[in-house]
Amino acid sequence: MAYWLMKSEPDVYSITDLQRDTETVWDGVRNYQARNFLRSMQAGDLAFFYHSNTTPPGIVGLMTVSKPDIVDPSQFDPKSKYFDAKSSPDNPRWRTVVVEFVEQFPTMVTLEMLRQTFSPDELWVVRQGNRLSVMPVDEAIAQKILAMAR
């Protein structure tokens, strides 16, 4: 099992939305490095749900990968802001996963708390200028985050 951190703006899709929906396609990732991380996820991997572009930003819950390496359907929808005219059903550019709700943490693990605890080499989300929406988390770091969250 691997650990990941996946970002979403809470006004777009929040941990509360995932809890209500139980599971969702994690669509709309349009960065090749993040897409490659999504491609490498396996069923049963755990991902921290990170609320970004909010005050304060931080980790708010946990989800699991229930269906790995699926085609991102938003790339084919001309009405979607994630539409990719250069992608085709025969040769899709964008892959993603289905994630399932595990838990919402009692308190948010804020970005500031993460910065005080981890170095940029230990946890990429604390790197200055990091805009990556999907990133791996080392198991030892993940265990520390879980302890902070619970």
Each residue's pLDDT tens digit, 35-55: 999 999 999 999 999 999 999
Q: Percent of the chain beyond pLDDT 90?
A: 97
Q: Which pLDDT score is estimated for 6? A: 98
The pTM (predicted TM-score) of the whole model is: 0.96
Do the Cβ atoms of 65 and 47 come closer than 8 Å? yes
pLDDT band at 94 (very low <50, low <70, confident <90, very high): very high
Q: What is the CATH number of the domain that holds 97?
A: 3.10.590.10
Q: Which pLDDT score is estimated for 114? A: 98
Q: Which pLDDT score is estimated for 29? A: 97
pLDDT band at 99 (very low <50, low <70, confident <90, very high): very high
Query: In this structure, is the dihedral angle defined by the CA atoms of residues 113, 116, 118 and 123, taken in order, positive or negative?
Result: positive
Residue range(s) defining the domain that contains residue 145: 3-149
With a CB cutoff of 8 Å and minimum separation 6, the contacts of 4 are 37, 41, 45, 46, 47, 48, 65, 134, 135, 136, 137
- How many residues can be counted in the chain? 150
Token output for 126: 């604390």
Average pLDDT over residues 92-101: 98
Q: For the chain, what is the domain count?
A: 1
